[in-house]
């Protein structure tokens, strides 16, 4: 069982649902340790007081905020708690909205909510079943690690799943980027052909079918190095020549022909049937890839 990060309760009207919060993320990254090159011993980061020139234990570290006049205000954990608008052991549901209305740009980190004890299981089941049936997401606020967060909660695989959200002023405007786009509107023919390519490559989103091959590749590199083998460092690939006037229509038609030829070739094997077979469609696509301008 992973470690719980927080225990409190969801408040839904006057109903309280005691819950425990777990991170929904699992770190699968390959981590490196910084070493001292000559002796391969680990490097430690030491916190040193710049004034006294001596190492400072973690307990003596405070959060400093610099005022405009250059003075520093030091804050303790208790100070941060005092700024929380309510004493927060609750996730307050304020609204219910359609999940699809929330632009994904607002989503930050995700967590799972689990009933805190057996007594809470009934209220939890009531809330999660009601939300599942309504298809809606709850919007609320709560305080985690002394910071208040806007959160969206919905049911995923039977469990209440919480995602922290950004505030609207933390999302950048696209105006400046959009203003720089220097091209006429694409023709109707081009758009229709591009949509046809999209439809040909349309699938039901199947997250299990994508594996992190980069991670596996890095693991192989580490293994080779451990065996004393040389790691070939690939030359920087020549960048595909980009032209100022690409033949978009020609490229779209070629793409369509190619995808359709591949689909016809693949038909008898019924690609969607093998779910655990790790990306049937993209693998076969790769194997049958014809020379592209990149190669």
Partner 1 sequence: MPRSLWNGTIAFGMVRVPVKLYSATESKAVSFRERHSSDGAAIEHRRICAKEDREVPYSETVKGFEVSSGSYVTLSKEEIAAADGPGARMIEIEHFAGREEIDPVYYDRAYHLGPGKFGDRPYRLLHAALERSDRVGIGRFVFHNKAHLAALRATDEVIALHTMRFADELLSPGDLDIPAPQRKPSKPEVAAARSLVEQLSSSFEPHTYEDTYRDALLKLIERKAQGEAITAPEAEQITPADDLLGALQASLEQRSALEQRSAH
Nearest distance from C-beta of residue 268 to partner 1, angstroms: 21
Q: Which of 3, 70, 145, 169 binds partner 1 (CB under 8 A)?
A: 169
Pairwise CA distance, residues 224 & 127, whole Å = 52
- 65 phi, psi to nearest 5 deg: -120, 125
Is 159 near partner 1 (CB under 8 A)?
A: yes
β-bridge mates for residue 165, sequence order: 107, 150
Q: Which of 5, 107, 265, 275 binds partner 1 (CB under 8 A)?
A: 107
Footprint of partner 1 on 7-66 (CB under 8 A): 8-9, 12-18, 22-52, 56, 60-66
Stretch that binds partner 1, among 197-205, 260-268, 269-277 (CB under 8 A): 197-205
Pairwise CA distance, residues 102 & 174, whole Å = 17
74 contacts: CB under 8 Å, gap ≥ 6:
62, 63, 64, 65
CA dihedral 138→144→147→152, nearest 10 degrees, is -20
Is 280 near partner 1 (CB under 8 A)?
A: no
Stretch that binds partner 1, among 186-194, 261-269, 270-278 (CB under 8 A): 186-194
Is 197 near partner 1 (CB under 8 A)?
A: yes
Nearest distance from C-beta of residue 92 to partner 1, angstroms: 11
292 contacts: CB under 8 Å, gap ≥ 6:
none
Is 276 near partner 1 (CB under 8 A)?
A: no
């Amino acid at each position: 069982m992973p470690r719980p990060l927080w225990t409190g309760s969801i408040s839904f009207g006057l109903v309280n649902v005691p819950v425990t919060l777990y991170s929904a993320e699992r770190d699968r990254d390959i981590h490196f340790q910084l070493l001292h090159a000559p002796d391969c011993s680990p490097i430690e980061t030491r916190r040193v007081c710049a004034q006294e020139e001596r190492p400072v234990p973690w307990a003596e570290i405070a959060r400093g905020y610099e005022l405009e006049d250059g003075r520093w205000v030091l804050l303790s954990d208790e100070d941060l708690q005092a700024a929380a608008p309510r004493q927060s052991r609750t996730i307050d549901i304020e609204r219910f909205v359609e999940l699809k209305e929330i632009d994904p740009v607002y989503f930050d980190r995700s967590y799972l909510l689990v009933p805190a004890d057996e007594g809470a299981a009934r209220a939890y089941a009531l809330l999660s079943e009601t939300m599942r049936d309504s298809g809606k997401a709850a919007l609320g606020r709560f305080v985690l690690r002394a910071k208040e967060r806007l959160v969206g909660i919905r049911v995923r695989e039977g469990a209440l799943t919480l995602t922290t959200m950004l505030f609207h002023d933390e999302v950048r405007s696209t105006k400046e980027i959009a203003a720089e786009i220097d091209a006429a509107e694409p023709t109707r023919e081009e758009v229709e052909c591009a949509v046809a390519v999209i439809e040909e490559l349309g699938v039901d989103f199947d997250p299990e079918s994508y594996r992190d091959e980069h991670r596996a590749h890095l693991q192989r590199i580490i293994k080779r190095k451990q065996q004393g083998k040389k790691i070939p460092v690939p030359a920087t690939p020549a960048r595909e020549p980009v032209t100022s006037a690409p033949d978009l229509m020609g490229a779209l038609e070629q793409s369509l022909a190619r995808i359709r030829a591949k689909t016809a070739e693949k038909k008898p094997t019924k690609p969607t049937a093998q779910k655990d077979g790790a990306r049937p469609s993209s693998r076969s696509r790769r194997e049958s890839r014809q020379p592209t301008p990149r190669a």
